[in-house]
Structure 1
């Protein structure tokens, strides 16, 4: 897996994708959008990968869109702008829909589209000093493509505030609002990410994927009879599946389940 704007590494069952445009604070352009989409699509189909870490080189995690790229878009037609926006939307969806759990390793500030990347991940570990900002309104723009993910992560009320004020907020605020899962000192960032990845890899791989899909499917649905029947059907399928049977048997027999061997 070779990309112009990403470094890709593997450590056992964990893949790490590292944004690699530190000279522009890892701002994304059309090349990075294509690289991230392609990388997540490829990893999604690999049975040997059980978790993905999204990281970044340099002092910033991601500053959002590259201003030179945005300047070029100003001359696009409406159809060209729509097509370009769909590429960004599809990149974010490739992260959110990845069947593997995705951990964001946030070493530096995340602005605008960078917050969208983080919000699309499942678990976010950030350094205490990191700052976040939905800065689009300062430029007369709106955070439209990232909105589905950011609103889910921040909640409606906080999103109202930070979308319209475009003010920066610190890691402690992001942790309180739920965007950040865990805040750590810089020296503990890698160890914390590795520990979470190891925990994910110790669980049943099919169960982890099904749990991720379960949350996405259930979170925004009405609690009605159809949902109740759906959840009952899901656990019934899981119990009858090979992984479920192996998990229960290994627990009762006090041995290690097969997926950890």
Structure 2
């Protein structure tokens, strides 16, 4: 079963997360297929830009709790998006949770429909948004992250734009993205690659500095008793034992 659908129009490759059985959660298999698809885009001289989108009503529900990717593999995937020498755009028309927000932050431009919702739900299952912080912390308002990391609250597209998680939002996300894609198609491939390198330098510094510590933190938390209780409670659709 293919988990990444691919289409192309006028030099823009669209990669759609297509795993409806788990709301496009980041399983080891989906992460591997997405990495392979991105590698193909990197090697294809006819691809000017990449759009990362989804089927169904959820862009990405976060890590697949039954089959999560290895933390090192997730770091590699996020870095691959940041380092790709072509612009990567996120197109969201639904909900984004937990690790899915790391995918958004790794993209150069992120657009969503005005009805999309977002939440860092890690704290509610006993873990922290560790690895996904690598692209998030350099690009997103720190006071907003403090609130939403710590509470797990849901927020809307307008708030996501205000905090820097999204570039833009609107009722029709394709209409919002149309002038952006037109601009990319008019740009020199060399100029796009070098401009992206300038824009991502500080993000990659965070990867170089913090990736080891954050993968270790992620592995430690996911193997903890509280995380086991939190994930079990989530799968059983009940409150975890610490909820008051």
Range class of TM-score, shorter chain: 0.7 to 0.9
Partner residue, 1:46: 44
CA RMSD of aligned residues (A): 1.8
Residues 102 and 133, structure 2, Cα contact 8 Å, conserved in 1: yes
Partner Cα separation in structure 2 for residue 207 and residue 219 of structure 1: 19
Structure 1: how far apart are the matches of 2:103 and 2:201? 20
Q: Which residue of 2 aligns with 1:243?
A: none
From 15, 22, 26, give the equivalent of 1:17.
Answer: 15
Secondary structure, counterpart of 1:105 in structure 2: strand
Q: 1:219 to 1:111 in 2, by over 3 A?
A: closer
TM-score by length of 1: 0.74
Larger Rg: 1
**Residue 106 of structure 1: which of 85, 88, 92 is its match?**
92
Q: Which has the higher contact order (CA 8 A, sep 6+)?
A: 2
C-alpha deviation, 1:32, in angstroms: 0.3
Cα distance between partner residues in 1 of 2:113 and 2:61: 16
Q: 1:216 is matched with which residue: 200, 205, 214?
A: 200
Unpaired runs of 5+ residues, structure 1, are 71-82, 222-261
Aligned to 2:216: none
Q: TM-score if structure 2 supplies the norm length?
A: 0.79
Q: CA deviation at 1:220?
A: 8.7
Give the match's secondary structure for 1:141.
coil
- Once residues 136 and 145 of structure 1 are traced to their aligned partners in structure 2, the CA distance between those partners, rounded to angstroms, is 11
Partner of 1:134: 120
Q: Is the 8 A contact 1:103 1:193 kept in 2?
A: no
How many angstroms apart in 2 are the aligned matches of 1:220 and 1:57? 29
Query: For the residues of structure 1 that align with 2:202 and 2:77, how far apart are their CA atoms?
Result: 23
Deviation at 1:208, TM superposition (A): 1.0
Alpha-carbon distance between aligned partners in 1 of 2:203 and 2:19, rounded to the nearest angstrom = 35
CA distance in 2, matches of 1:102, 1:61: 15
Segments of structure 2 that go 5 or more residues without pairing to the other structure are 206-244
The equivalent of 1:66 in structure 2 is 64
Aligned length: 205
Provide the residue aligned with 1:178 in structure 2.
Answer: 164
